[in-house]
Homo-oligomer: A and B are copies of this chain.
């Protein structure tokens, strides 16, 4: 096990009927909130009204900032920062999935900074302050509700970049699995693929062969994502299934899986970010394509880890190729795309995608991933 620091101060309020707590929990941090959300669906479902009532009852004034898209964009973040400044808001409330929460984080950091918020994503500046953030989660996937990271797309530059800071941990996140009963099968599956990808980045890229607590924990999380996703697809209103998927996805990227593993990297996300940036594919769908391909490429260097994955997650004999086949088949079975063709991305675009991903490789210190190597991996996405 390698040295690590683990310090996750987010308060999780989990379970049925917990949404009204967003009022007093937010009021503890501010009295003038920017409410960030996505599409109109939270108005139809009544969640928007429930949150507005809770905030009003707690004495929190609200300015609204809806319209977050999947693969949330920089221009919308900047518009949110402008609202915060104009109206002197002091707390950000996110109601939605990872895209909404990441937008809220970017607004929170950008509002507390002098320069342009994109400087944080290109590594030009570090985040040293942010407005407090509270969240109501509506999608089991990204893990942003209990971590310090965010991903935003600069749509003018086709760049989907990430930034991290301890300032970005939400103060409070409310996780009511019932809010995900209406998530359609496709996004339920993409969310599961996202959560599995988060675990696999740590599981596959760390070079510490003596971290048994973490390995066991990660294998359990993947098993639980698989089992709970299948329950949710069979019955979208299976509370236990939705609860297990939601909590697994949160734990998959809250810092515990990677604590003690030493150097880890996010090469699968690096490549997927280019698919999302260039073709606006859902992040989890892009990952379902990239993850098996990256694993297959990885086997050339390190088959042992994938073989262990196959044993512990799928109950297979220790065979790395079989493990990758099993994961790819499972992604396909739950309705995820598993090839570029299924994303309607022509193979002729591979050089363009590789060049885009390579620009992120520099920032993420993944320089070993040359455009040629990235193209090799993309060629396996079939």
Chain B residues in 8 Å Cβ range of A243: 1, 210, 260
Chain B residues in 8 Å Cβ range of A8: 8
> Copies per complex?
2
By the criterion CB–CB under 8 Å, are B7 and A11 in contact?
Answer: yes
A83 → chain B closest CB, angstroms? 30
A133 → chain B closest CB, angstroms? 15
The DSSP consensus for interface residues of chain A is mixed
* Bound-complex Cα distance A1 to B239 (A): 8
By the criterion CB–CB under 8 Å, are A248 and B213 in contact?
Answer: yes
Q: Is A142 an interface residue (CB 8 A)?
A: no
Chain B residues in 8 Å Cβ range of A7: 9-12
By the criterion CB–CB under 8 Å, are B247 and A213 in contact?
Answer: yes
By the criterion CB–CB under 8 Å, are A228 and B244 in contact?
Answer: no
Chain B residues in 8 Å Cβ range of A256: 256
Contact partner, A18, options B3, B11, B18, B224, Cβ 8 Å: B3
Q: Is A42 an interface residue (CB 8 A)?
A: no
| Residues 7-21 (chain A) with a chain B CB within 8 angstroms | 7-18
Q: Is A217 an interface residue (CB 8 A)?
A: yes
Q: Is A183 an interface residue (CB 8 A)?
A: no
**A15-B1, A210-B240 known; A247 and B223 CB under 8 Å?**
no
By the criterion CB–CB under 8 Å, are B15 and A251 in contact?
Answer: no
8 A-B pairs (CB sep. < 8 Å): A1-B15, A1-B247, A3-B16, A4-B14, A4-B15, A6-B12, A216-B221, A217-B217
